[in-house]
Amino acid sequence: MKTTFDHLVIGAADLRQGADYVENLLGVKIAAGGKHPRMGTHNLLARLGETSFIEIIAIDFEAVQPTQPRWFGLDDPQVRAALQQGPRLLTWVVACDDITAALAAPEISFGTPQPLSRGELRWYFGVPDDGRLLAGGILPYVISWQTESHPAAAMADIGLELRLLRLHTPFVDWTARQLEAIGALEMVELAEAPAATCPRFEAVLATPAGERILASRS
């Protein structure tokens, strides 16, 4: 089972809001993305590397209501309320060449693999039955691309690079076990947070404007 970092997910109340947030913080223009009919969402994208990117995602209120909860916790009232206050880093995604094995490995359910598509892109994605964020967003979703090349390879290089993904949690040992089970432990820095606090995380990025931080909450 080979696992690699795939992308960061920024949630927003709408795509314009999300684009403004990223452009103001990172100093880059965001490319068009597309729609996810099965999930009732749409997105914008920005390249981080040849096999990684940033995704800005929002509910597509013009789409047909999905028959299942949307991914990334977007149907959670608390997540929606938070995004009304402003865009934020919601979670992250890893790519695996054996998604069935990856989803079976952790102590908790990371979801079941569902076939999804956007335009010509095809992939399998581990979607929890209730659409929840995994451990409040600090545990990643798992994707398996069904394409010859990674979609980031076709995106313009705009000078962004992920330097560090730091997770803060009161449950460091438990979190480490779940990440190790899917081959993602070496991708992050784990920091112990005080007891009874909510997990949070941040991504440190190199940008044309210097080092910047995307955060799950202020």
Q: Which of 94, 85, 79, 5 is nearest to 41 (CA)?
A: 79
> Mean pLDDT across the chain, nearest whole number?
94
* Spatial separation of the C-alpha atoms in residues 89 and 146, rounded to whole Å: 26
Predicted local confidence at residue 120, as pLDDT: 83
Predicted local confidence at residue 33, as pLDDT: 85
pLDDT tens track for 16-59: 999 999 999 999 988 888 999 999 999 999 999 999 999 999 99
pLDDT tens track for 109-119: 899 999 998 88
* Spatial separation of the C-alpha atoms in residues 91 and 55, rounded to whole Å: 10
Q: Which pairs from 127-133 meet CB under 8 Å and 24+ separation? A: 127/68, 127/71, 129/68, 129/69, 130/69, 131/68, 131/69, 131/70, 131/71, 131/72, 131/73, 131/74, 131/75, 131/76, 132/69, 132/73, 132/76, 133/72, 133/73, 133/76, 133/79, 133/90, 133/91
Domains of the chain, earliest start first: 3-157 (3.10.180.10)
* pLDDT reading at 84 higher than 80: yes
Where is 99: in which H helix or E strand? helix 99-104
